[in-house]
Amino acid sequence: MTHSLPAFAFRAVYALLARLRPRTAAAYAGKAPAAPAAPDEGTGAIPRRIWSYWHSVQPDAFVERCVANWRAQCPGFEVHVLNRQTVRDRVPPGDWPAGFEQLDPVKQSDWIRLYLVSRFGGYWLDATVLLTRPIDWLEAMRGAQGADFAGFYLQGYTQDAQFPVVENWTFGAPSGGAFVTAWQREFHHALFEVGTAAYLAARQAEPGWEALLQGIPDPVYLLGHVTAQRVLRQGGAAHRLALARAEDTAFFYQKAVGWKWYLLYPRLCLVPADAEVPPLVKLRGGERRHFAQLFARHGEPGSDTLWGRACRPRK
């Protein structure tokens, strides 16, 4: 029913709630670090290379919008969006795990992202990420902190600040980076060498399972989060990560509108953008479906909106 509302109704509801609860219209106050002028890949910098995966050979219209946005925001970057056929061109037969085809596409994607970034370096972006600036601000953050991995952590899952819960929908690392390589090996071990159920049962039998899990709600689905935690706890000070809080960046607007998609859509697509905006927006699964339906009904977002502005080619 909500999807059938005309655009002016979304605007009116959003405007009313913004007046009643000003924080729902919160303006982004932070600034991402300045991107390096030209990262030197020979010095261990993150290559200007974007990886993503969409299982279907033909991506849907929403995914194509996001990929076009990456190209607009990241001129000069390689952009590789692989699918279930083309991914085999990047993974040598000897590295291809037995039983891969039997996995759920979500788990396939989880394995692929860690393999590609650990082997080739670059940035992983889920196909539901909208950029508002070039992604190599993560490289600036990584370099400033002397880290070998840059990404995001979710405060909502993190109970121990010493071991933030690392997200896997956007991250970057040089080829062979210590943390991403260890994470890839641990995830591969969990998924293929022992199996998810046996891996989690072994972890649960160890002292400190609750501390490792923190607030991760579904360790089967979020196996990548669990394996990242184990790598961090085993590696100690050996792993240096540069992490931005997701709720302050990629999920800034979701948090600002109370995690309600029907307020997120007008905030991003119907009202004028603020002067300062987060460096990226990550849409969750349900949000992606709603936005796709609303784009099909209402057409392109206004050129002065955050979404419209983000899709303009950079000068």
Summarize pLDDT for 5-16 with one digit per residue, the tens.
666 665 565 555
C-alpha dihedral, 4 to 5 to 10 to 12, nearest 10°: 180
Q: Indicate the pairing of strand 122-125 with strand 170-173.
A: antiparallel
- Specify the pLDDT at position 215: 98
Asked whether residue 38 is assigned to any structural domain, the reply reads no
For the stretch 254-263, pLDDT in tens is: 999 999 888 8
Domain residues for the domain of 293 are 47-255+276-300
Asked whether residue 176 is assigned to any structural domain, the reply reads yes
Q: Dihedrals φ, ψ of 14, to 5°?
A: -65, -45
Residue 219 pLDDT > 80: yes
What value does the mean pLDDT take over residues 194-222? 97
List of residues 6+ apart from 295 with CB closer than 8 A: 61, 62, 65, 301
For the stretch 119-144, pLDDT in tens is: 999 999 999 999 999 999 999 999 99
For the stretch 266-315, pLDDT in tens is: 999 999 999 999 999 999 988 999 999 998 888 889 899 999 999 998 87
Asked whether residue 265 is assigned to any structural domain, the reply reads no
- pTM, 2 dp: 0.91
Give the number of domains in the chain: 1
Q: 273: which 2 tokens?
A: 């953008």
279 close to 132: Cβ distance less than 8 angstroms: yes
Asked whether residue 179 is assigned to any structural domain, the reply reads yes
Asked whether residue 311 is assigned to any structural domain, the reply reads no
Whether the CA torsion 38, 242, 189, 224 is positive or negative: it is: negative
- Specify the pLDDT at position 181: 98
Asked whether residue 109 is assigned to any structural domain, the reply reads yes
Asked whether residue 13 is assigned to any structural domain, the reply reads no
Asked whether residue 168 is assigned to any structural domain, the reply reads yes
- Specify the pLDDT at position 43: 54
CATH code, 58: 3.90.550
Q: Indicate the pairing of strand 49-53 with strand 129-131.
A: unpaired
Interatomic CA distance for residues 36 and 140, integer angstroms? 6
